[in-house]
Amino acid sequence: MTNKQKDIEFQPYIPDEQTPPELTWTSLIVGVILAVVFGAANAYLGLRVGMTVSASIPAAVIAMGVMRVILRRNSILESNMVQTIGSAGESVASGAVFTMPVLFLWSAEGVIDTPNLFNICLIALLGGILGVLFMIPLRKALIVKGHGILPYPEGTACAEVLLAGETTGTGTKSVFLGMGFAAAVKFIADGIKVVPGVITVPLKFLKTEFSTEVYPAIFGVGYICGPRISSFCFAGGLLGWFVLIPAIITFGGDTVLYPGTEAISAIYASGGASAIWSTYIRYIGAGMLVAGGLISLVKSAPVIVSTFVEAVKGIKGTGEDNGVKRTSLDLDMRIVIAGIAIVVILIWLIPQVPVSLVGAILIAILGFFFGTVSSRMVGLVGSSNNPISGMTIAALLLTTFVFKMTGLNNTAGMVAAISVGSIICIITSLAGDMSQDLKTGFILGATPKKQQIGELIGTIFAALAIGGVLILLNSAWGFGTKELAAPQATLMKMIVEGVMQGNLPWSLILIGVAIGIVIEILKIPVLPVAIGLYLPLELSTTLMIGGIVRYVAEKINKSSDENAGSGILFCSGMIAGEGIVGLLLAVLAVFNVLDKIDLSAHINTGIIGGIVMIALTIAAVLWVEKKTVNPDNAA
């Protein structure tokens, strides 16, 4: 089946001929509120633990509840617009908290002046707008032509959640059963903490460890992606934890290898295999991501070029009056191209953005490159597992190296590099989030142009809010402290300083590049494997468990890959349920409530409790799937 045939045969939930409300004042106001709330909550979460929660699905659930239940508005496309605008806040926050705290850290060291509100908001705003604009020309290539190829698990899950609100019966029950189940598990593990969130088994004879999460959301992503993609991610995890880590420990011995500050044997003795991973393997993973990104861009070049050619051909008329279907209508390419050019020029000329002409050019090139890679990557493994920090590391490496080679190797060069990295990080985050949102809209029958406008609005308000959030958190606790460790930003700071001072572990990065090339020669997708190598093992293991359960469910029930029953709906609900509770726990943490409900000192089920939770998750998914295939057995 050709891509053109797929485009013709696919029918969205809302036909092209219908024009229900979408971008209304109601959806705009509710969406902006969610964008600010999600942005603030995820900023705190990212600074505390180095990870953020994808807000697309929680936003979809809240949008459905507010619009349909509270406001009594029945347009599914209006609810979709709320989640489109609301999810933008999380994306801006992710890009900002992974990089901008470096400026505060340097300020605390007396290297630079304290960043002000205007500078932070301006950098976030410019990066966010570019992220949205860069994604628009790629929509047809990735979302439309990629339908059936790139699953976009969270975008699909959002559509399922919103569709569940339109109907009654097994589908709705499956989604909300999944939400309730995952919410309970998340609260038990991270709220009252009577069950560990991660199960780790030391394997001393291999000088490594095996680990998996008990959280249902990652399991759900693996189930939605299926066994093939999940296995690639798991292969990367195995490569890192069962090949590279044992090799480093075995052959490294008492060697002191940068970025480690003590002998490899001492690092292993004090922190185990996890310490080796965080000290060395992440650099190898970053190099592999660079190789995978370049390979992905080269392989995608024909589709990207054809997309731009088609867009340029339609510059003279892309509106409905010229015969373009509502569900195929994008923002006018003249506006998109002009917007990109204007933003890049502003980045160069505005004094408050410390970026030179070279930096602005790097942003334009690297921003589009990593935005494209991010859009494709989230189509494979979802936004929650999109290694934004890994791609930002790659961008920082190149940017800082270019600045150093052009003579800008002082404090100004470091600040410029972080500013470029911040903008690229936000671009990458926004491109991935917007891809999921456009996938949801594609399934539901939304108007892409209106979604793109909504994404811009959400980005603008989230960018204006993130500066205040960062300044408030820094004033309260300070970054790099026990309360707000800011692990991603600390890593970015080390990279920039490492390049400028000439002591970055290039050997590790180039090893990653070489591994990526070998994997491509073997005709194995590089990016999924690189993701598995870069992320902690427990994530790729959990993905693999979900993929295996999907395979088993299809074999037992003899269901096809495209018709897997309510298992997909249940897993979509699990992703939503865990995401909502994750945001709630982040808010509780801000108000110091989590410590008061922590029962781990009194009840600790240990590994047994974690295994039971995983078994319950597997049993629940298989049970729901079986009820769909055998409806006569349903209660």
* pTM, entire model: 0.73
* CB atoms near residue 551 (< 10 Å): 17
Cβ neighbors of 336 (< 8 A, separation 6 or more) are: 133, 136, 137, 330
Q: Please state, in angstroms and rounded to a whole number, the distance separating the CA atoms of residues 242 and 240.
A: 6
- Span 202-211, average pLDDT: 91
* Averaged pLDDT for residues 211-216: 90
- pLDDT of 390 reads 72
Domain that holds residue 404: 3-633
Q: What single-letter DSSP state applies at residue 59?
A: H
The confidence score (pLDDT) of residue 614 equals: 94
Supply the pLDDT for residue 3.
Answer: 45
Residues 391, 370: contact at Cβ < 8 Å? yes
Identity at 32, one-letter amino acid code: V
pLDDT value, residue 561: 45
Given a cut of 80, is residue 564 above it in pLDDT?
no
CB 325 within 8 A of CB 314: no
Q: What is the pLDDT of residue 439?
A: 92
DSSP letters, 159-199, are HHHHHHTT--SHHHHHHHHHHHHHHHHHIIIIIS--S-SEE
| pLDDT tens-digit series, residues 287-337 | 888 788 778 767 766 765 665 565 455 444 444 445 578 888 888 888 999
Gap between the Cα atoms of 201 and 343, Å rounded: 50
Give 22-31 pLDDT, tens digit per residue: 999 999 999 9
Residue 69 DSSP code = I
pLDDT digits (tens, 9 = 90+) for 23-75: 999 999 999 988 887 787 777 767 765 656 566 766 777 777 778 777 878 78
Write down the mean pLDDT value for the chain: 83
Query: What residues contact residue 524 under an 8 Å CB cut-off, 6+ apart?
Result: 232, 235
Q: How far apart are CA 280 and CA 271, in angstroms?
A: 13
The lowest-confidence range among 139-148, 268-277, 505-514, 546-555 is 139-148
Residue identified by tokens 């309360």 is: 483
Q: How confident is the model at residue 7 (pLDDT cuts 50, 70, 90)?
A: very low
| Lowest mean pLDDT segment, chosen from 87-91, 120-124, 263-267, 578-582 | 578-582
Q: Please name the residue that has the structure tokens 């229900």.
A: 20
Distance, CA of 614 to CA of 219 (rounded, Å): 9
Those residues with Cβ within 8 angstroms of residue 184's Cβ, 6 or more apart along the chain or in another chain: none
| Mean pLDDT, rounded, for 327-356 | 90
Sequence-separated (6 or more) residues with CB below 8 Å from residue 209: 200, 201, 202, 203, 241, 272, 273, 274, 537
Q: How many domains does the chain have?
A: 1
